[in-house]
Amino acid sequence: MLIVGEKINTTLKRAKEIVEKKDKEGLQHLAKIQVDAGASMIDVNVGTRIKTEVEDIKWAIETIQEIVDVPCCIDSPNPKVLEAGLCVHKGKALVNSTTAEKKRLEEVISVVKNYNCKIVALTMDEEGIPEDVDKRCKIAGILIDRLSSEGFSLDDIYIDPLIKPVCTDSRVGKIILQAIERISTLFPGVHLICGLSNISFGLPRRSLLNRVFLAMAMARGLDAVILDPLDKDLMATVFAANTLLGEDEFCANYLSSFREGKF
Amino acid sequence: MLIVGEKINTTLKRAKEIVEKKDKEGLQHLAKIQVDAGASMIDVNVGTRIKTEVEDIKWAIETIQEIVDVPCCIDSPNPKVLEAGLCVHKGKALVNSTTAEKKRLEEVISVVKNYNCKIVALTMDEEGIPEDVDKRCKIAGILIDRLSSEGFSLDDIYIDPLIKPVCTDSRVGKIILQAIERISTLFPGVHLICGLSNISFGLPRRSLLNRVFLAMAMARGLDAVILDPLDKDLMATVFAANTLLGEDEFCANYLSSFREGKF
């Protein structure tokens, strides 16, 4: 399971202040505590800083990679920002993201094809986010075809079926679970990722809904997730789910993580 | 989701003392708090009381049904005990259980066919509990065929794929999840049930493993479960999972249960 820590995002107050002040220690601390909590990748999103996004993403990635030995998830819809991030990134980054919107897809590809990176592809096109499973699978197929033709292996492609809040439509959870299972069955080898916390937007006890949905999605084939690794209950769910899915021989990782007080 | 409360079981200290003393108030309290916590059925297992099991199950069921308006799950491998329970039970009981072992299956059928009841059928036969998914599905088919031929509708049959502890074999969780999904796909209309807590036997933080596995199993088609409804975190998982699976229009039950302090 790939755990991408979501805390370095300037829509969040703490990260916003850190990036505004170019608080190097603050940023490195925020990266380190996520890795210590179990994140194997750090999401970097400075998208609210429209005028300085290019400079800010370079600063953030360089500063983070001074202190932690994990790759970053370079998170922006803007190809120029993605390129700026890729330029300074050490190791294999995850670019987040493209969609199947023709202009965006081709612009992102023209940037990422020059780097050895992984990519998140969202199942949406010019018509927006699909209502149903079939359309999500169809768009996933289009994205996989196009990215494969540019040399991306399936192992470097992360399909995001785009979670919407369950409070807006009670069918959403089931649709996402079916999409995860069907896409991973149709395209074996491709990864399935999601931004988890959208599911619980607008409801009480969001952390409860997030962790229950994470367990469900892992049971259907989700193998990467963007989440708050400082949420101990959520990380406990990841450790337990890995063990219950047979990804943890002799329950060794569960037992050692428990002894280390990780959950 | 059918929630069967598991607390009235004489392998547990509290229930053992209550049944030994024929503590009517104690038994009724133990039934009522389970129903108040969300159980829609009460499991009754007095199997450790070998010499008096027949009398004890009658006393327990009559005493429980004086105070709560839910059916019981009559839990014994002994057909005589099942019959004693069915004799006094009001409404439609769930008989727990038969297996595909020929002698046991025919003996249980000879009892239950005289009552309008539901039945739990365990996927094991003379060779024991299968190691794999295929054999579990095959046994489920045999059980469903035989029970159907005696007039049981699919809606009255609850297949239990028999959870073993994940600490004994790390493949167990995945096997059970696949069995749940395949049996519910092969025999649409039949119910899938399990005794949850076996999965976590021998490991720390059992409640965590139980609730994560419950979410996963519900995502794959489990629609009935025997559990401890007094475990608030576990019941919170049930409320959240129902909502996330689209079984809760406008999240109404989630919101009202939250307001009532149920989780």
Q: Is B176 on the interface with A (CB under 8 A)?
A: no
User: How many Cα atoms are found within 13 Å in the side-chain-facing hemisphere of B214?
Assistant: 32
Residue A261's pLDDT is 87
Average pLDDT of the segment spanning A1-12:
97
List chain A residues with CB under 8 Å of B174. 244-246
In angstroms, the CA A126 to CA A87 distance is 29
Residue A263's pLDDT is 85
Distance from CA of B89 to the nearest CA of A (A): 36
In angstroms, the CA A129 to CA A47 distance is 21
pLDDT in tens, A39-75: 999 999 999 998 999 999 999 999 999 999 999 999 9
Of A204, A212, A263, the CB nearest to B215: A212
List chain A residues with CB under 8 Å of B262. none
Residue partners of B210: CB distance under 8 A and separation at least 6: B196, B197, B199, B200, B227, B231, B234
- Tell me which CATH code domain B2-199+221-227 carries: 3.20.20.20
Q: Is A173's CB within 8 Å of B251's CB?
A: no
Distance from CA of A150 to the nearest CA of B (A): 35
* pTM given for the model: 0.95
Q: Is A215 on the interface with B (CB under 8 A)?
A: yes
Q: Count A/B contacts: CB-CB distance under 8 Å.
A: 112
Is the distance from CB of B37 to CB of B230 less than 8 angstroms? yes
Q: Which residues of chain B have pLDDT under 50?
A: none
User: Which of B167, B170, B200 to substitute to test the interface with A, most A CBs within 10 Å?
Assistant: B170
Is the distance from CB of B170 to CB of B157 less than 8 angstroms? no
Residue A262's pLDDT is 84
Residue B263's pLDDT is 86
Residue A24's pLDDT is 98
Q: Is B261 on the interface with A (CB under 8 A)?
A: no
Residue B97 preceded by cis peptide, ω within 30: yes
In angstroms, the CA B220 to CA B250 distance is 22
Read off the pLDDT band of A15 (50, 70, 90). Answer: very high
Q: Is A203 on the interface with B (CB under 8 A)?
A: yes
Task: List chain B domain ranges.
Answer: 2-199+221-227
On average, the pLDDT of chain A sits at 97
Q: Is B237's CB within 8 Å of A212's CB?
A: yes
Read off the pLDDT band of A174 (50, 70, 90). Answer: very high
pLDDT in tens, B23-49: 999 999 999 999 999 999 999 999 999
pLDDT in tens, A94-146: 999 999 999 999 999 999 999 999 999 999 999 999 999 999 999 999 999 99
Q: Is B111 on the interface with A (CB under 8 A)?
A: no
Closest CA to A160 of A245, A71, A99, A78: A99
Cβ atoms within 10 Å of B194's Cβ, excluding its own: 26
Predicted-complex ipTM score = 0.94
User: Which of A171, A181, A216, A234 to substitute to test the interface with B, most B CBs within 10 Å?
Assistant: A216
Residue A97 preceded by cis peptide, ω within 30: yes
Is the distance from CB of A174 to CB of A181 less than 8 angstroms? no
In angstroms, the CA B104 to CA B59 distance is 25
